[in-house]
Amino acid sequence: MAHNTAVRVGNRRLTLTNLDKVLYPDSGTTKAEVLQYFTEVGPALVPLLTGRPLTRKRWPDGTAADPFFQKNVEAATPDWIPRHTLTQGSRTVVYPEVDELADLVYFAQSGALEFHVPQWRFAPDGSPGAPDRLVIDLDPGPGVTLDECAQVALRVRERLQARGLDALPVTSGSKGIHLYAGVGDGWTSRRCSEVAKEIAVELERQTPEQVTSTMSKAVRAGKVFVDWSQNSATKTTISPYSLRGTAQPTVAAPRTWAELTAPDLRQLDFHEVVERLRGGVAPATVPRPHEARQAIAGAGVVGGRNRVEAPMLATAATASEFASRADPDTWALEYKYDGIRALVSFGGEDHPVRLTSRNGLDIGVGYPELLHLPAGLTGHSGVLDGEIVAFGDDGAPSFGRLQQRMGRSRPPSARERESNPVALLLFDVLELDGVSVRDKPLRDRRRVLEAIRIPEGDSWRVPDLAPPDLDEALDSSRAAHMEGLVAKRWDSGYRSGRSSVWLKLKHFRTCEVVIGGWLPGEGGRAKGVGSVLVGLPAGPGRLRYLGRVGSGMSDATLGRLRDLVAETASGDSPFGDTVPAVDARSARWVRPETVAEVRYSELTDDGRLRHPVWRGLRPDKSAADVEGVEGGGC
């Protein structure tokens, strides 16, 4: 580039000045190189800034000089730069936004290296909207290494996953690590702060010598400060892909979870980040709840690329509603097995099989017999979709037996595996040998799946389709004691999240519920849980009361519930005052986090479950997965 030059960026014409000015004296990095960097990373950075009020940290005279923060739009700012006016307390600020690459290059031209934004975007009326992400900043105190921050990051991730969230790790470009987790509808800045603070306090309580949740710098020496406060609606965080105004041009760089466990973890400079983007290595998006928080490849590489996956989900329908559309040329019918969903990633000899639940947890430890590759997949890599199923003595799927294998932190014994064997039933393929087939119609994906050679008697299986005639399929599924059918359009691609081109047709009513309290037992249950109080999500931390469930619980279940209610005990009712007084007098409350499944005959006029029967806990799901009142749950 010349000393000064006019360029066209998108539809905008910009005059770039002083391009040979050195902004990073220690490395000799010029303004031209900085602008080139932002041009290269713009496609990844701009979407992270769009719609958010922008605070710039500027070094117009280079990083050897003192910087300054700027919030307001300057008088010289072009009219085409978008902006919003915000009043915070007694102060009114006109904030700029970055909605296109030209906006970003303009601000970089004026010496902005760091771009700081809040965790929310503007609502359509121009007011601050709800947050779309949660952030936790891991700030190392004196004497703490980046590797130690990474160890804490892995522990934070486990606790986010337990709450139905997953995170994108970002080495901050300065000292520490930022973790971003996407949040869905109903989240507020206050709720994000509360969840982040709960995690920080929990980690500090468990390892006070390693972690602090206190902001005072006087207590940070030798510890990682888990900063939860940046979720406040009035605070900002440096955006991923921003440069840092440090001695060297380092970057707040998105990383993979595998990198955080590598022995040579370090901050990256701008040349490395550009090369990663060119090679498709660095992730650029924050995992979303439901759609993208299931990080199959978060701790490894599948098909040479890091991926974040989530399963495609069927919409509930009745057989009578579907009957008029049940054309065999349009719809495939599959049996609905009573198990738990699992996405399966594998990748040649050096990449083990990974089983991931709907809420992003690695569940392979509970099913070691499934962590092998059938002969037909040896030497290949890919991602498959399936269901882990246990079978009863009658050969029918048994959710009760599967319960004995769910939610484990240690592998089952050989005796447990023998008494409660499981199978992995495969019904879709998403990727094979680095080639995505998600956009292919189901008919083609099914051919690929059926071409996989799986030996007879293997614990991996590709089950046959149900008969194409709906009535015959329903009869055969009932005779086999199946849960029902799943109807899928033959022309459907594979899209994460719930879809109307996949329909689940159940023989009986079941419902995923959230436990909000419990009642002490009587007689043989006098020393523990007698029944649980359940509901549906009805807003942050709130449930709509559905009733109590006690029938169908085994002694083993009651033991697990006793431990769970102790771990999640709370002094407040998540149901408000909707629990009948006769139950509320002796009820004990818990945080609305634990998911269970119940069977029932119908809903009463006042929205309570009639004849509910316990089916089991669902450790593969989080409360965020349960369809709430607005989503038509139950």
Q: How much is the pLDDT for 302?
A: 29
Residue (of 78, 85, 65, 74) closest to 105 by Cα position: 78
- Work out the percent of the chain whose per-residue pLDDT is above 70: 93
CA neighbor of 41 nearest in space, from 251, 287, 307, 306: 251
- Which residue would you say has higher pLDDT here, 291 or 372? 372
Q: What is the pLDDT of residue 292?
A: 30
**Sequence-ordered alpha helix ranges (H) in 324-420:** 399-403, 414-419
Give 93's strand partners. 86
Does the pLDDT at position 299 exceed 70?
no
Residue range 111-162, pLDDT digits in tens: 999 999 999 999 888 889 999 999 999 999 999 999 999 999 999 998 888 7
* Annotation marks residue 336 as catalytic: yes
pLDDT in tens, 37-95: 999 999 889 999 999 999 999 999 999 999 999 999 999 999 999 999 998 778 899 99
Q: In this predicted structure, what is the pLDDT of residue 321? A: 84
pLDDT, tens digit, 9 for 90 and up, residues 310-319: 888 888 888 8
Q: Out of 223, 336, 440, 488, which one is annotated catalytic?
A: 336
State the sign of the Cα–Cα–Cα–Cα dihedral 538, 542, 545, 550. positive
pLDDT higher than threshold 80 for residue 197: yes
Q: Which of these three, 237, 269, 301, is where a domain ends?
A: 269
DSSP type of residue 545: E
pLDDT of residue 276: 84
- Residue 27, in any domain of the structure: yes
Residue 349 lies in a domain: yes
473 with 521, same domain: the answer is no
pLDDT band at residue 283, thresholds of 50, 70 and 90? low
CATH number at residue 596: 2.40.50.140
Instruction: Judge if 92 and 140 occupy the same domain.
Output: no
In this prediction, residue 77 carries a pLDDT of 93
Q: Which of 85, 119, 153 is the last residue of a domain?
A: 119
Of the three residues 269, 300, 325, the one that is the final residue of a domain is 269
- Write out pLDDT tens, residues 534-589: 999 988 889 999 999 988 888 888 888 999 999 999 999 999 989 988 888 889 99
What CATH number is attached to the domain comprising 9? 3.90.920.10
CB 270 within 8 A of CB 37: yes
Is the same domain home to 172 and 80?
A: no
Tell me the residue length of the chain.
Answer: 634
Same domain, 448 and 544: no
In a domain, residue 460? The reply is yes
pLDDT of residue 307: 38
Reference 561, options 601, 542, 534, 585; nearest CA is 534
Q: Where are the beta strands (DSSP E) in 100-234?
A: 112-117, 120-122, 128-131, 133-140, 168-171, 177-182, 211-212, 224-227
pLDDT at 288: 59
The string of pLDDT tens digits covering residues 330-360 is 999 999 998 899 999 998 555 579 998 876 7
pLDDT over threshold 70, residue 290: no
Going by their DSSP bridges, the two strands 12-16 and 68-70 should be labelled as: unpaired
Q: Over 50: is that where the pLDDT of 278 sits?
A: yes
pLDDT confidence of 509, banded at 50, 70, 90? confident
Non-local CB neighbours of 431 within 8 Å, separated by 6+ positions: 302, 303, 307, 381, 382, 383, 437, 438
Report the CATH number that the domain containing residue 461 is assigned in CATH. 3.30.470.30
Beta-carbon count within 10 A of 225 CB = 25
The answer to whether residue 282 sits within a structural domain is no
The single-letter DSSP state of residue 286 is P
Phi and psi for 235 in degrees, rounded to 5? -110, 160
Number of domains in the chain: 4
Cα 162 to chain centroid distance, Å, stands at 10
Pair 245, 362 in one domain: no
Give the up-direction half-sphere exposure of residue 496: CA atoms within 13 A in the CB hemisphere.
16
Q: What is the pLDDT of residue 54?
A: 96
Sequence-distant (≥ 6) Cβ neighbours of residue 327 within 8 angstroms: none
Domain-embedded: residue 374: yes
- What is the spatial distance between Cα 513 and Cα 594, in angstroms, rounded to a whole number? 8
User: Does 110 share its domain with 158?
Assistant: no
Instruction: Round to whole Å and give the CA distance between 510 and 38.
Output: 52
Residues 76 and 215 in one domain: no
pLDDT the model gives residue 297: 30
For residues 75 and 138, membership in a common domain is answered with: no
What pLDDT was estimated at residue 349?
53
Q: How confident is the model at residue 253 (pLDDT cuts 50, 70, 90)?
A: very high
Q: Kindly report the average pLDDT of the chain as a whole number.
A: 87
Q: What is the pLDDT of residues 164-175, one digit of tens each?
A: 888 999 999 999
Whether 475 and 530 map to the same domain: the answer is no
Write out the two tokens for 243: 């440069």
CATH code at position 148: 3.30.70.3300
Decide: 252 and 178 in contact? Cβ < 8 Å: yes
- How confident is the model at residue 176, as a pLDDT? 95
Which pLDDT does position 289 carry in this prediction?
Answer: 57
Taking 70 as the threshold, does the pLDDT of residue 271 lie above it?
yes
Joined together, the tokens standing for residue 31 give 């303004």
Q: Indicate the residue type of 617.
A: L
Cβ atoms of 313 and 291 within 8 Å: the answer is: no
**In which band, very low, low, confident or very high, does the pLDDT at 524 lie, cut at 50, 70 and 90?**
low
227 & 327 share domain: no
The C-alpha atoms of residue 630 and residue 61 are separated, in whole angstroms, by 54
**Which residues contact residue 226 at a Cβ distance below 8 angstroms, ignoring those fewer than 6 apart?**
136, 137, 138, 152, 156, 196, 199, 200, 203, 204, 211, 212, 213
The range of the structural domain enclosing residue 10 comes to 5-119
Residues 142 and 114 in one domain: no
Q: pLDDT class for 300, splitting at 50, 70, 90?
A: very low
Q: Is residue 66 part of a domain?
A: yes
For 79-88, 256-265, 439-448, which range has the lowest pLDDT when averaged over its residues? 256-265
Query: Residue 576: inside a domain, yes or no?
Result: yes
Mean predicted confidence (pLDDT) in 227-240: 95
* Cβ atoms of 515 and 326 closer than 8 Å: no
347 & 479 share domain: yes
Could you tell me what percent of the chain has a pLDDT over 90? 55
Q: Does residue 292 belong to any structural domain of this protein?
A: no
Kindly state the greatest CA–CA separation across the chain: 87
Who has greater pLDDT, 523 or 75?
A: 75
Residue holding tokens 């130690």?
148
Amino acid at 514: V
What pLDDT shows up at residue 444? 94
Region 180-209 average pLDDT: 91
